Structure 1
Amino acid sequence: MFPMGATERLVVIGGDAAGMSAASQARRMKGPDELEIVAFERGHFSSYSACGIPYWVSGDVTDRAELVARTPKEHRERAIDLRMRTEVTEIDVAGGRVRSRDLESGAESWTGYDKLVVATGARPVRPDLPGIGAPGVHGVQTLDDGQALLDSLSRTEGRRAVVVGAGYIGVEMAEALLKHGFEVTLVDRGEQPMATLDPDMGRLVHEAMSGMGITTVSRTAVTKILTGDDGRVRAVATDSAEHPADIVVLGIGVEPETTLARAAGLPLGHHGGLLTDLSMRVRGHENIWAGGDCVEVLDLVSGRERHVPLGTHANKHGQVIGANVGGGYGTFPGVVGTAVSKVCDLEIARTGLREKDARAVGLQYVTATIESTSRAGYFPGAAAMTVKMLAERRTGRLLGVQIVGREGAGKRVDVAAVALTAGMTVEQMTALDLGYAPPFSPVWDPVLVAARKASAAVRAGA
């Protein structure tokens, strides 16, 4: 039933970043007498930082509660009917309703909506391999996953771990397992770890992790998970070797969770994510919005849609959706693909296109790679970094930047992200008025040094 006086009902599927940001923003725009808000979440937690799970597992974050931005109780106090442990099983677009199931009691019911937000997130890629469901094999997508892994680590007597996949989650979990005293092997199909970088930059990550004691096995696919007599994982098998394992962590990546959307006939893109317009409204559906890890967004550099599962985007999507649902106006123009991570003291950052991305969209480009330091070379604590820059041939338009280095390296990528968003050329970047003092930067900031070199390469190729 609608609250007395309420004229509309908003239903939200998904109780994390995008969904609850949308619900909260819509509530700021309209009170309970104008808009009833019902949200469904199948898990045990709402509005939490999945990006923080590796740091909680590692011990850098000591309390799971620190990762929760707002509890279900806090949402309910703001007149949002958040129903936990309740899974939406069907969207009836024609009838304007959703079917849900209480995961504790099994009871099912239909809930009508005037406006719908789909924020179903992403699901971990979990290959169909023999033994993949064995005890001791863990994903790390949710807080429940993180807790299960921590419980398993505390019970495991052996100290050998294998991480499958060398993307962001893989390298972050390798660090977490090191901190727990495990001998870590990282197995990945790519040429180098961190496939979000070009191979020459990924090689720097490989070399640094080897120095940390992490064994990295590249160009290798896992074929099965081997188990012992007790049924628990004992090794990870590839075509050429067996890697002993008392714990296995899957860090292969994620894909949009759009099972409901597909069944309902909502439009999906090349990567399986929902397609929306700039207001985050699902294309062709006036009263349905979508945001977060279940959507595809416009890449402002390549001009194509892509799947970029990041909490930063999910929260922005939610704000835009909530404003529009609440009668205001907002848009999400797109992304340039900025991301930053770390493994121990190594910082890894990228924005824009890799070489293979540029080739895929038919762009001709030049590259420039430089080595520099985070501070003036004579200042104590100056740390080395490598910066690689891509620019469009002839025009000099910045296409992408990758950075690998020690303290002070990673967040420099933000300068490049702003330049990409503004459509700047590398020549224009060389004149940027960046802050300088010896404790913070050399006279020529490393990003600007790379821009100078890239600008020279553009002129040489003109």
Structure 2
Amino acid sequence: MSSTRERLVVIGGDAAGMSAASQARRLRGPDELEIVAFERGHFTSYSACGIPYWVGGDVEQRDALIARTPEQHRERDIDLRMRTEVTRIDVANSRVLDRDLEGGGESWTTYDKLVIATGARPIRPALPGIDAPGVHGVQTLDDGQALLDTLARTEGRRAVVIGAGYIGVEMAEAMVNRGYEVTVVNRGKEPMSTLDADMGRLVHEAMTGMGIEMVNDAEVTKILTGDDGRVRAVATEDAEYPADVVVLGIGVRPETALAREAGLPLGEHGGILTDLAMRVRGHENIWAGGDCVEVLDLVSGSHRHIALGTHANKHGQVIGSNAGGGYATFPGVVGTAVSKVCDLELARTGLREKDARAAGLQFVAVTIESTSRAGYYPGAALMTVKMLAERRTGRLLGVQIVGREGAGKRVDVAAVALTARLTVEQMTALDLGYAPPFSPVWDPVLVAARKAVAAVRAG
């Protein structure tokens, strides 16, 4: 290897990995920096968040989810090797071992700088029958294609979704859109454990109203199969739920087996630990980003694992800037997420009640109902806003919103307020846009802030 030309190796060809590679290439040309990227799948730079909408038919073409193809990356002088899996990181000798998944050959590639962007994997519990044909986890485009192939071959129209987090409710909607009778089996008291239970109850009621059978407080014990070996039902301790297809929506875990075997530092949630520059702690020339890392929660001060494409792309930009000779940092997150199930919008940012208690915070919690528009304007829809504020100081701690059209993206106001560490009293003075088609005179978020101010003063 030339002493004047460095080699950057990237493990993972989706959001974080290829954003890092692309940003590094913007800063340094191929005569200064060679970039080699490995991707074990068939696709690069795609929107995993869009997979439920493709499966459900809202997005017609798979390729609409692909931001940049392997050929486009190669045109930018990135040596992208598809269907090639890195099986070992040798930190001591600055090299990685890769295996060609098509041809079977193995080879070592040395690096001056390394980016780990291995993503996350769907949680697949060790249940009898979990690997039966017709049972699908959905994390990658390959997973989505496999599920669609199964649906095309399946005559029955009964689907069971295991889990009721973001993936679970989005896949439940996708299967409803495909014309399936859908049952959601959820171990929690209510769907959407990222919300407090009182807000999750609103989601439960809405899903039931959409014809989805909700089975809460239920632990799946096995996947039952027919004589042909295919899935036929999902069993709990109390019942069996017929299924022609099963979708796992239990959540994901950081894919960090490589990092663990290489001796890199992992956090309590299993994600790689990095500094503000996304550099792996204790390793000068190794960076990590995307769904395989843990991030700092700016509200609680703890570290969390949050698998979101927004974070992954930002991580990639930061990593690429630093690996390419520039400078950038990723300060952390406030835990903002938004989703929908059919026409119900769900959003949260900051802490839930149990998060605030775990952080040792004393708080007040208030809930209000309002409308998305002026009450007299056509199309005004109800929404519920829950707000947490720190007792005594009034610092905003978290917001949850459940409602129809116009509800979800209101959470962004709260996300900015959390990042700026505003108090709920300061929030009441925010100069938000108003016109009857868009909001009541007092926006629902500000109505909640006013009620929180009163609760803080009373407490």
Could you tell me whether the CA contact under 8 Å between 1:352 and 1:401 is conserved in 2?
yes
CA distance in 2, matches of 1:180, 1:314: 30
Structure 2: distance between partners of 1:72 and 1:251: 29
For the residues of structure 1 that align with 2:157 and 2:58, how far apart are their CA atoms?
A: 20
Distance 2:49 2:12 in 1: 17
CA distance in 2, matches of 1:165, 1:37: 39
- In structure 1, the partner of 2:422 is 424
The corresponding residue for 2:83 is 85
2:153 to 143, 152, 155: 155
What is residue 72 of structure 1 aligned with on the other side?
Answer: 70
Alignment match, 1:180: 178
Structure 1: runs of 5 or more not aligned:
none
1:98-247 maps to which residues of 2 (within 5 A)?
98-247=96-245
SS in 2 for 1:76: helix
Partner of 2:270: 272
User: Which of 387, 396, 399 is the equivalent residue of 1:398?
Assistant: 396
1:351-370 residue pairs with structure 2 within 5 A? Answer: 351-370=349-368
Cα separation, partners in 2 of 1:404 and 1:66, compared to 1, 3 Å? same
The CA deviation string for residues 333-389 of structure 1, in whole angstroms up to 9 with x for no partner, is 000000000000000000000000000111000011000000000000001000000
Counterparts of 1:365-444 in structure 2 under 5 Å? 365-444=363-442
Q: 3-state SS of the aligned residue for 1:293? A: helix
Q: Aligned-pair distance for 1:156?
A: 1.0
Distance apart, 1:154 and its partner CA:
1.4
Letter paired with 1:443: V
Q: Which amino acid aligns with 2:68?
A: R
- The answer as to whether partners of 1:11 and 1:115 remain within 8 angstroms in 2 is yes
Whether the 8 Å CA contact 1:6–1:36 is kept in 2: the answer is no
Please identify, of 452-461 and 146-155, the stretch whose mean Cα deviation from structure 2 is larger: 146-155
* TM-score under structure 1 length normalisation: 0.99
Tell me which of 415, 420, 445 is aligned to 2:443: 445
Which residue of 17, 20, 24 maps to 2:18?
Answer: 20
Q: Is it true that 1:283 corresponds to 2:287 in the alignment? A: no
2:45 match: 47
Structure 2 segments unaligned to the other structure (5+ residues): none
Aligned partners of 1:180, 1:332: CA distance in 2, in Å? 39
3-state DSSP class of the match of 2:161?
strand
Which 4+ runs in 1 deviate beyond 3 A? none
Deviation, 1:415, is 0.1
| Cα distance in 2, alignment partners of residues 50 and 349 from structure 1 | 19
Give the match's secondary structure for 2:445.
helix
TM-score normalised by L of structure 2: 0.99
**Correspondence 1:316 to 2:314:** yes
Question: Which letter does structure 2 place at the counterpart of 1:425?
Answer: T
User: 1:44-65: CA deviations, max 9, x gaps?
Assistant: 0000000000000011000000
CA distance in 2, matches of 1:157, 1:114: 53
Deviation at 1:7, TM superposition (A): 1.2
May I ask how many residue pairs the two structures share in their alignment? 459
- CA distance in 2 between counterparts of 1:209 and 1:89 reads 42
The correspondence for 2:248, drawn from 223, 247, 250, is: 250
- Post-superposition Cα deviations, 1:250-280, rounded to whole Å, max 9, x if no partner, equal 0000000000000000000000000000000
Note the C-alpha offset of 1:155. 1.3
State the shift of 1:151 in Å: 1.1
Contact 1:6-1:32 within 8 A present in 2 as well: no
- CA–CA separation in structure 2 for the residues paired with 1:396 and 1:37: 49
Which residue of structure 2 lines up, in the alignment, with residue 260 of structure 1? 258
- The one-letter amino acid of 1:171's match is V
Q: Is the 8 A contact 1:430 1:452 kept in 2?
A: yes
The Cα RMSD (Å) is 0.7
Take 2:298 and 2:417, find their aligned partners in 1: how far apart are those partners? 12
SS in 2 for 1:371: strand
One-letter amino acid of the counterpart of residue 250, structure 1: L
Q: Tell me by how many angstroms 1:6 deviates.
A: 5.5
Identity of aligned residues (%): 83
Shift of 1:328: 0.7
CA distance in 2 between counterparts of 1:8 and 1:100 reads: 19
Matched, 1:59 2:75: no
